[in-house]
Structure 1
Amino acid sequence: MAGYFEPATSVPGGAAIALDEVEISILRSLAIQLLELIGPGEEPANGGDPLDELFAEGPSEPPSDPALARFFPDAYSGPDQKQDDDARAASAEFRRFTENDLRARKREDGLAVVKALDALTPAGDQGAVLTLTPDESRQWLGALNDLRLAIGARLEITDEEDGNGLYALPDSDPRKPMVMAYLWLGGLQESLVETLLP
């Protein structure tokens, strides 16, 4: 394995990747930061009815953080489009009933990454092999996508042309580590998608 996902031989439909200690540490740190960005879930109060959570309404305003705005965009307009009153009202209504579930799913995906990495035991320079089931692969794919969206927002990447300029950044540029993470995550994401294709 060359640092990218490949079909798992031991798990039908699964994926496997060899990760060294540094890669494990970076992925875990990024996943923890993703979880912090998404925020904690709303737990029912002690003795509260868990069904109340199912009917809880979410926020109606878009997030002010650019990364969260990419995770939870307005449903009835593009990122740079002005909304009329009808589109704004429809977006707010849609957000109220969907954002909590989206946040919960993104949180579950991020937690799946952290748990899988925590279960690995690197063997010195050899690292460790992470093997994912098809369901775990989908969770990882969601988390990798969210990580790239968050980093892309921080780097102010809005289209492919913005991304192309990243390759030419000098090593002295303070954005270089984020760029390297963004590109590496893109490679991981692409190789994981390929393992999921029939």
Structure 2
Amino acid sequence: MQKWKRVETGDGPRFRSALAVHEAALLRNLAGSIVGMLDARESESPPDELEQITGIRTGNTSTPRDATTLRLLPDFHRREDCAGELPVDADGLNSALRSLHEPGIIDAKRGAAQQVLATVPERGGRFELTEDQANAWIAAVNDIRLALGTVLKIGPEGLDQLPADDPMAAQLNVYQWLTVLQEFLLVALMGRPRR
């Protein structure tokens, strides 16, 4: 991967980079996996009669069963947040908030991943993103890193290295590559045009 280059144009900034063939294939595969997870979660949502009448979408009321999907769609309210306060039905609150907001969150996450799929060059090479596309990439790469970090059990302190013979060493290398890709794009997005 090449560093991102910000180029000012009459239509706003553009963000240019290049990916090797294997990097493009890996990114497409990972973004596709995120879309698949989100589609699976959405399909688990039971049909709602009120939604059919009003057109207002509702989502799942239950917490995702697998850790990776839960990391992408965490609970809105944690039990430990109400320590020392009046008792709160955290499960009921999460259920209601999930039902209301999860469809929109899934749409946003899926849209970001689909933006990566639409813009990453299939055979690698140079490419260019608009500012909106670059923001979608930041969000999608973050979701991919969250999912991969869950598999690797990376906590707040991070994980620097694994022994070379560890079966998860390759996944950690991918996680670190995604971190660099995201950081360089974020730096380019935050860059100011030169005068």
TM-score class normalised by the smaller sequence: 0.7 to 0.9
Q: Which structure 2 residue ranges, 5 or more long, are not aligned?
A: 44-50
Contact 2:38 2:106 in 1 (8 A): yes
Give the Cα separation in 1 of the matches to 2:54 and 2:4: 36
Which digits, 9 at most, give the CA deviation of each residue in 1:108-159, with x for residues without a partner? 1111111112xx365xxxx511210001011111100000000001011121
- 1:64 equivalent to 2:65? Answer yes
CA contact (8 A) 2:17 2:128 kept: yes
Aligned residues of 1:76 and 1:87 also touching (Cα < 8 A): yes
TM superposition outliers: structure 1 runs of 4+ over 6 Å: 50-53, 80-83
- DSSP 3-state at the match of 2:127: strand
Q: Does 1:152 align with 2:149?
A: yes
TM-aligned CA distance change 1:53 to 1:19, over 3 Å: farther
Percent identity (aligned): 27
Structure 1 position 97, deviation (Å): 0.4
Note if 1:179 corresponds to 2:179: no
The root-mean-square deviation of aligned C-alpha atoms, in Å, is 2.6
Aligned with 2:102: secondary structure? helix
Are 1:14 and 1:134, in contact at CA under 8 Å, matched by a contact in 2?
yes
Q: Which amino acid aligns with 1:35?
A: V
Amino acid at match of 2:75: D
The alignment partner of 1:56 has SS state of coil
SS at match of 1:73: coil
Gaps of 5+ in 1: 43-49
Is the CA contact (8 Å cut-off) linking 1:13 and 1:195 kept in structure 2?
no
How high is the TM-score relative to the length of structure 1? 0.80
- Structure 2 counterparts to residues 113-152 of structure 1, below 5 A: 113-117=116-120, 120=121, 122=123, 127-152=124-149
Q: What is aligned with 1:47? A: none
Aligned counterpart, 1:7: 6
Shift of 1:74: 1.1
